[in-house]
Amino acid sequence: MLNEDTRILITGCGGMLGEAVYLFFKDKCKIFPTDIDLNADWLEELDVRESEDVIKMIEKIRPDYIFHLAALTDLEYCELRPEEAYNTNALATENIALLCKEKNIKMVFISTAGIFDGGQEWYIDYDMPNPLTVYGKSKYAGELAVQRILDKCFVFRAGWMMGGGPKKDKKFVNKIMKQIQQGKKEIFAIDEIFGTPTYTHDFAKNMFKIIDLEKFGLYNMVCGDGCSRFDVAQEILKLKDPNKEIKLTKVHPDFFKKDFFAARPRSEKLINLKLNLKKLNIMRNWRECLKEYIERDFY
C-alpha cells in the first residue's frame, strides 16, 4: 500500500500528465519529480537517456517506485528523428526497467493508444498492437521491455490526453482554445479519426487506486466513450461559444497533412476492460471531464 513514507521518483514530471500526478500524489507520498525541462520550481533535472544520471538519482533517492512518464510524444518529431525516439521511448525505458529489477523497485510506465493500427473500431487490453508510426513502435517497444523484465510493474495506456492548461497543454484542446482566443470565425476539425480522450486528473486518481492495491499488470485507462476530433471541438464551442458565432467545419485528414504528416490510425478508441472487470474503473465520461478541464484551467 502507498503511504506518506513511500518514495516515488517521477520522470517527465513537467508535462501535462506529470503535473496532474505530482499534484495528486504529493500529499500522499514522498515525491521526487524530475524532468529534462525545468518548467516548474519543484522539478529537478533528469535526462532519462543518460543512464549514469539515472543511476545517481536512484542511489540518491532510493525510491520504492519509479513512475516513468518521460517520453517523446510528438508524432512528426519522432518520424523525422527515429533514433532519438527509440532512444527515449524504448531504450531509456528498458534501462530503467533493468535498474528497477536490480534494485527491487516497482515501476509504472505510461503507454499509448497509438500502438494500435486502427483496423478495429475499439480495442481492449488484450488486443494485439500493430503501431503505424515511429512513436507508436517506440512506445510499444518500451511496453514490451517493462513487462518482459519486471513482474511487479504497471503499464497504463492513455488516449487523447487532456490537461495541463494553456502553459502545458500541447494537444488538441489547447489548439482549439487558442483559435477561439485569437478570434477565429471558423475552426476546422477532422471527423474521420476517432479516439478516447483521457483527462490527466482522472488518470492520476485511477493510477493511485490501482497502485495502492498493488494490482500489477497492463491496463487501458481512458475516459468513457469515444469520439472524433470534430466531436471534441463541438463540445468546446458549446462551452465557449454559446451564441454560435464561430463556424465549425468538418474536414478530411489530408487538410492538415502538411503539418501533421505522420500516419494516424482511423480509430484508437480504447475500452477499459480489465479495469471494469476488476471494478477499478473510476474514469469519467470525456464530456464531463472536458467541461471540468475548460472551466478549471481556461476560465
Indicate the pLDDT class of residue 255, thresholds 50, 70 and 90.
Answer: confident
Region 270-294: mean pLDDT is: 97
pLDDT of 299 strictly over 70:
no
- The pLDDT tens digits of the residues spanning 117-132 come to 999 999 999 999 999 9
% of the chain exceeding 70 in pLDDT: 100
pLDDT of 98 strictly over 70:
yes
In Å, how far from its chain's centre is CA 68? Answer: 11
The 10 Å CB-count burial string (b at 16+, else e) for 185-198 is: eebbbbbebbbbbb
Is 7-164+197-224+269-284 a CATH 3.40.190.10 domain?
no
CB count within 10 Å of CB 60 equals 11
Q: Is 246 helix (H, G, I), strand (E, B) or coil?
A: coil
Cα–Cα distance, 56 to 44 (Å, whole number): 13
Strands annotated E in the chain? 7-11, 30-35, 44-45, 65-68, 106-112, 122-123, 153-158, 160-162, 186-190, 194-195, 197-199, 217-220, 227-228, 247-251, 269-270
Region 100-129: mean pLDDT is: 97
Strands annotated E in 138-196? 153-158, 160-162, 186-190, 194-195
Indicate the pLDDT class of residue 219, thresholds 50, 70 and 90.
Answer: very high
Residue 207: which of 257, 265, 272 has the closest Cα? 272
Cα–Cα distance, 92 to 141 (Å, whole number): 11
pLDDT of 192 strictly over 70:
yes
CB-based contact 231:292 (threshold 8 Å): no
Query: What does the pLDDT read at residue 253?
Result: 85
- The pLDDT tens digits of the residues spanning 134-151 come to 999 999 999 999 999 999
C-alpha cell read off for 129: 498492437
In Å, how far from its chain's centre is CA 96? Answer: 18
Region 246-251: mean pLDDT is: 94
The pTM of this model reads: 0.94
Query: What does the pLDDT read at residue 261?
Result: 87
Region 37-66: mean pLDDT is: 96
C-alpha cell read off for 212: 495502492
Q: Is 128 helix (H, G, I), strand (E, B) or coil?
A: coil
163 Cβ neighbours under 8 A, 6+ residues apart:
16, 17, 19, 20, 169, 199, 200, 201, 293, 297
Region 215-226: mean pLDDT is: 97
Region 231-245: mean pLDDT is: 92
Mean pLDDT, the chain, rounded, equals: 95
CB-based contact 90:239 (threshold 8 Å): no
Query: What does the pLDDT read at residue 231?
Result: 96
Beta bridge partners, 218, equal 155
